[in-house]
Chains A and B, each alone.
Chain A
């Protein structure tokens, strides 16, 4: 049942290519300055800040007008984005009357960034994770506190935003799970349960290996945001010492301490320093119902990272950090080398060491699992893919087709450059395959994809 929509032109008019770029980003609440002359009060945050005050007010006013105007056509669903010749504006109302607007420069005419929309939503989610809701902040300390928090958050966050390297994976915002055998997985379970028992103030735990998730005690939605923060912001910042030498140095100088590789990625840098600050990032989870504020402790040994989340009302002391280090450090070190060893055994057994034959991206909406053999390394600033950006754009286009219908679909595209691009959607799963077979016909391509499904996805119900 292959519906072929062949011939979408990739690499068409290649005049001058501008990468997509963030022109401005602002947050406002129309209720804060309803009268003339007080419009400035509406603005809670504006990037770039250097823009002249009147222009800020003008832009905010324009957005307000657009939203008001489009509301007349669709009262329940106001406009989400506005596409113009030069740029595209995204409107998002995360909480009543709070508006977030992002203006993105279009790369080239006809090629819109399909990735903008989800990014605004992630921003909001990450903001939510670290700051809680706008209303809560208002309750805590009025508009002034809210403005301060927004300033602090977006000042850092907008720097990590690299629109030019956004692709399909950013749209999915998925979680990469670390493949693991049952026994090692159970050992990790056992480790987490023991740690939560010994460190009784720990409320939730998450476990990652090689920047891939293995266990989340948080609910899926919260984990998704935390995962993005960890993998795009926190881990990359700590990557240097690992590249410089064999992980962190063995701390043999601590008497009586078992040798281990554990260290804090958040919190105290040096446990021997009595002045060491035990300050951890604060995060907000389950914002829909229980609204919990937590301290985020990230502790790492070799490639294994554990996130311990403790109630924000409890202030972790240096003693607690030392205890955590002495309990978690040695066990996590052993566990990390166990995982590494087991992973290598499994890899050898399955023979997946070899260069993957197929280039594909897989995503499951149900558990947010993503898998890509296209991305060599995904860092926030560079998306190192093994295929041409034009092909990536086709993937984006197929994806936006898929989002329009609920039913299972299959799209096969012949790109200009000998490549075939196949998109499949089965129930909640999406699969995108890029094939480089010069003279293959539609049937052969279909067969190839079937072969891929049979080898890579034979353990799930994925319709051919």
Chain B
């Protein structure tokens, strides 16, 4: 199995602590994610290491007997030590106040620090769970719920073990995960994980069933909103994504593993610190060891080896393991670090060797743009709310977070499309089809297409002399009007004469480009047309006479020059009561030319009323 095949790995900077042995006890605090190594009951030292703090806390305390549990409060302010089952000692003297009490017979409890929810196992069978939710110093009781046991138990004794229950936040929602070793339905023998959604308000509801299709010893982690199920017998793991489409039976959704089962990537124990024997090569770490303990959401601890790892998902290998590109996109779009992987998938599906079909490419584009549009909409309503006068500090108003799943046009252009269109071996038909498909998808989601994408289409069409295609695209306004596009078209006129007309039409539609239209017409010596145009839009009182007379003179058409000259004389008359040009207009040269060709008497005489 190559490295490319493993999609789970242990983090490369684990927390290293002194391994557990008869004189060294190791404890893990799930709330602070800290490992406590307590040597000789604390007398020879306690070392506390968290995943983020590289500076461990060390202290000594009196050995007052075996430590059962040891924890810091949040921010390491208070240390609590439990030495007997009934007492908890706080080494500094503090006063505690009982805020609230509940009287319940409890088999076991489980606390989820992320969700601030404690779960109590009640009743004789232990399968009725009572959740409490802590918030701002209060404790609220949530509706209790029953876990469906695999079969009607034969004897009345505790049937639900805390080993088979986990709590984790998946896609922002708190779930209780129950590992059911035998399916309730007789036709499937494999174990399954049942997900109960535990909302802050309302009843807990069974939502998802993850089909494991195997039996034996399992352990659960939640990484990047994926449920990871480790199987010790086969030393492999599988992952489930509850957002991917499953089979819905009306109440719950059944899911199968997203990918084939794989081992966690083999891991070499690093030779940390100033090792006395430097030549010693790294030792391969025994994976899925029976001494492994798994904590939520993503922690794996090997007490015998003295390591705490975070489990991680590797996205790149998944690209080749999930052949269905649509499903792959659905999967990737939900992952935290997805952007570059998604872009590489896009590049790959457009490459000559790994080319996907157009319907597949279309599906991928649609999925990306769906996500992109969601973000744009959120951004839009945020701006609208701001403009409507809502205060930035209002708790209801939150700037939408831009996750990596938002792949915008500039990402696609920079990383995928511009590179793709540059490739020499690519058939232009395919290139154009892909660009049009992307533009179609953007339009379908009502996203304004950026100019550089249109430019890319035009560049590709021009490179292959497909001017008539370009003409048709413009005719149906597939390439949106813009000044830069109009200018680009103008520059194409020498290769394709109709580009001139297309450009002028576009400038006209823009309605903000009247100056440009006049310039284009004058450059073509269409002086009369330019004048008629500017008069048509009522701008003829503000134009420079000199500019038009220059252009008229260049045509070497005396009658045209006469017409233009007369027009401006009339304008002068109308505006100033005198047909003569003012010195500021710098038309002396043209007046002289007019006199030379048509004679002094041809000049318009001032009319006096």
Chain A residues within 8 Å of B, Cβ to Cβ: 1, 177, 180, 182-183, 185-187, 189-190, 193-194, 196-197, 215-217, 219-220, 364, 366-367, 369, 408, 427-428, 459-461, 463-464
Contact in complex: A463, B472 (CB < 8 Å): no
- Chain B interface, number of residues (Cβ within 8 angstroms): 37
- Known A-B contacts A185-B476, A367-B475, A461-B501; the reply to A193 vs B529 at CB < 8 A is no
Chain B residues within 8 Å of A, Cβ to Cβ: 357-359, 362, 429-430, 432-433, 436-437, 439-440, 443-444, 468-469, 471-472, 475-478, 497-498, 501-502, 504-505, 507-509, 517, 528-529, 532-533, 536
A197 CB contact (under 8 Å) in B357, B472, B475, B501: B357
Contact in complex: B358, A190 (CB < 8 Å): yes
Contact in complex: A183, B443 (CB < 8 Å): yes
Q: Which residue of B lies closest to A218 (CB)?
A: B468
A1 to B532 alpha-carbon distance, docked (Å) = 9
13 CB contacts below 8 A, A to B, read A182-B478, A186-B440, A186-B444, A190-B437, A193-B433, A193-B437, A364-B501, A366-B471, A366-B502, A367-B498, A428-B501, A460-B509, A461-B504
When distances are taken between beta carbons in the complex, the residues of chain B under 8 Å from A193 are 358, 429, 432-433, 436-437
When distances are taken between beta carbons in the complex, the residues of chain A under 8 Å from B362 are 190
B429 CB contact (under 8 Å) in A180, A196, A464: A196
Contact in complex: A183, B444 (CB < 8 Å): yes
Contact in complex: B475, A177 (CB < 8 Å): yes
Contact in complex: A463, B478 (CB < 8 Å): no
When distances are taken between beta carbons in the complex, the residues of chain B under 8 Å from A219 are 468
**Secondary structure of the A contact surface, majority rule:** mixed
- Least Cβ distance of A154 to chain B in Å? 30
- Known A-B contacts A185-B478, A193-B358; the reply to A216 vs B468 at CB < 8 A is yes
Q: Which residue of B lies closest to A460 (CB)?
A: B505
17 extra A-B contacts, CB within 8 A, seeds A183-B443, A215-B472 = A180-B476, A182-B443, A185-B476, A186-B444, A189-B436, A189-B440, A190-B362, A196-B429, A196-B433, A197-B430, A366-B498, A366-B501, A367-B472, A427-B501, A427-B504, A461-B505, A463-B532
A461 to B429 alpha-carbon distance, docked (Å) = 32
A186 CB contact (under 8 Å) in B439, B472, B528: B439
When distances are taken between beta carbons in the complex, the residues of chain A under 8 Å from B502 are 366
Q: Which residue of B lies closest to A190 (CB)?
A: B440
When distances are taken between beta carbons in the complex, the residues of chain B under 8 Å from A194 are 357-359
When distances are taken between beta carbons in the complex, the residues of chain A under 8 Å from B357 are 194, 197
A398 to B432 alpha-carbon distance, docked (Å) = 42
- Least Cβ distance of B552 to chain A in Å? 15
- Least Cβ distance of A396 to chain B in Å? 25
Q: Which residue of A lies closest to B501 (CB)?
A: A366
When distances are taken between beta carbons in the complex, the residues of chain B under 8 Å from A217 are 469
When distances are taken between beta carbons in the complex, the residues of chain A under 8 Å from B436 are 186, 189-190, 193
A341 to B237 alpha-carbon distance, docked (Å) = 51
A364 to B502 alpha-carbon distance, docked (Å) = 12
- Least Cβ distance of A184 to chain B in Å? 9
A182 to B481 alpha-carbon distance, docked (Å) = 13
A463 to B501 alpha-carbon distance, docked (Å) = 12
Interface centre among B357, B468, B497, B536 (most CB of A within 10 A): B468
When distances are taken between beta carbons in the complex, the residues of chain A under 8 Å from B475 are 177, 367, 369
When distances are taken between beta carbons in the complex, the residues of chain B under 8 Å from A185 are 476, 478
Contact in complex: A197, B358 (CB < 8 Å): yes
Q: Which residue of B lies closest to A215 (CB)?
A: B472
When distances are taken between beta carbons in the complex, the residues of chain A under 8 Å from B498 are 366-367, 428
When distances are taken between beta carbons in the complex, the residues of chain B under 8 Å from A220 are 468, 471
When distances are taken between beta carbons in the complex, the residues of chain A under 8 Å from B477 are 182
A95 to B433 alpha-carbon distance, docked (Å) = 38
Contact in complex: B476, A367 (CB < 8 Å): no
When distances are taken between beta carbons in the complex, the residues of chain A under 8 Å from B472 are 215-216, 367
Contact in complex: B440, A187 (CB < 8 Å): yes
A193 to B533 alpha-carbon distance, docked (Å) = 41
- Known A-B contacts A182-B477, A186-B478, A461-B504; the reply to A367 vs B443 at CB < 8 A is no
When distances are taken between beta carbons in the complex, the residues of chain A under 8 Å from B478 are 182, 185-186, 189
Contact in complex: B358, A463 (CB < 8 Å): no
A186 to B468 alpha-carbon distance, docked (Å) = 17
When distances are taken between beta carbons in the complex, the residues of chain A under 8 Å from B517 are 461
Contact in complex: A197, B433 (CB < 8 Å): yes
A215 to B466 alpha-carbon distance, docked (Å) = 13
A15 to B316 alpha-carbon distance, docked (Å) = 88
Contact in complex: A463, B437 (CB < 8 Å): no
When distances are taken between beta carbons in the complex, the residues of chain A under 8 Å from B469 are 217
- Least Cβ distance of A343 to chain B in Å? 13
When distances are taken between beta carbons in the complex, the residues of chain B under 8 Å from A366 are 471, 497-498, 501-502
Q: Which residue of B lies closest to A198 (CB)?
A: B357
Interface centre among A186, A196, A427 (most CB of B within 10 A): A186
Contact in complex: A182, B476 (CB < 8 Å): yes
- Least Cβ distance of B499 to chain A in Å? 9
Q: Which residue of B lies closest to A364 (CB)?
A: B501
Q: Which residue of A lies closest to B446 (CB)?
A: A183
A220 to B502 alpha-carbon distance, docked (Å) = 16
A94 to B471 alpha-carbon distance, docked (Å) = 28
- Least Cβ distance of B450 to chain A in Å? 16
A186 to B502 alpha-carbon distance, docked (Å) = 20
A179 to B587 alpha-carbon distance, docked (Å) = 49
When distances are taken between beta carbons in the complex, the residues of chain B under 8 Å from A183 are 440, 443-444
Contact in complex: A459, B508 (CB < 8 Å): yes
Q: Which residue of A lies closest to B536 (CB)?
A: A464
A244 to B330 alpha-carbon distance, docked (Å) = 49
A187 to B437 alpha-carbon distance, docked (Å) = 9
- Least Cβ distance of A21 to chain B in Å? 37
When distances are taken between beta carbons in the complex, the residues of chain B under 8 Å from A187 are 440
Q: Which residue of A lies closest to B355 (CB)?
A: A197
B509 CB contact (under 8 Å) in A216, A369, A459: A459
B532 CB contact (under 8 Å) in A196, A460, A464: A464
When distances are taken between beta carbons in the complex, the residues of chain B under 8 Å from A1 are 528, 532
A324 to B475 alpha-carbon distance, docked (Å) = 29
Contact in complex: B433, A367 (CB < 8 Å): no
A190 to B357 alpha-carbon distance, docked (Å) = 12
- Least Cβ distance of B429 to chain A in Å? 7
- Least Cβ distance of A427 to chain B in Å? 6
- Least Cβ distance of B536 to chain A in Å? 5
When distances are taken between beta carbons in the complex, the residues of chain A under 8 Å from B505 are 459-461
When distances are taken between beta carbons in the complex, the residues of chain A under 8 Å from B444 are 183, 186
- Least Cβ distance of A146 to chain B in Å? 31
- Least Cβ distance of A325 to chain B in Å? 19
Q: Which residue of A lies closest to B442 (CB)?
A: A186
Contact in complex: A463, B508 (CB < 8 Å): no
A187 to B444 alpha-carbon distance, docked (Å) = 9
A220 to B475 alpha-carbon distance, docked (Å) = 14
Q: Which residue of B lies closest to A178 (CB)?
A: B476
- Least Cβ distance of A3 to chain B in Å? 13
A459 to B505 alpha-carbon distance, docked (Å) = 7
- Least Cβ distance of A236 to chain B in Å? 25
When distances are taken between beta carbons in the complex, the residues of chain B under 8 Å from A180 are 476
Interface centre among B429, B471, B501, B533 (most CB of A within 10 A): B501
A308 to B432 alpha-carbon distance, docked (Å) = 18
A190 to B363 alpha-carbon distance, docked (Å) = 12
A-B CB proximity, top 8 nearest: A193-B433, A186-B440, A461-B504, A366-B498, A461-B508, A185-B476, A460-B505, A194-B358
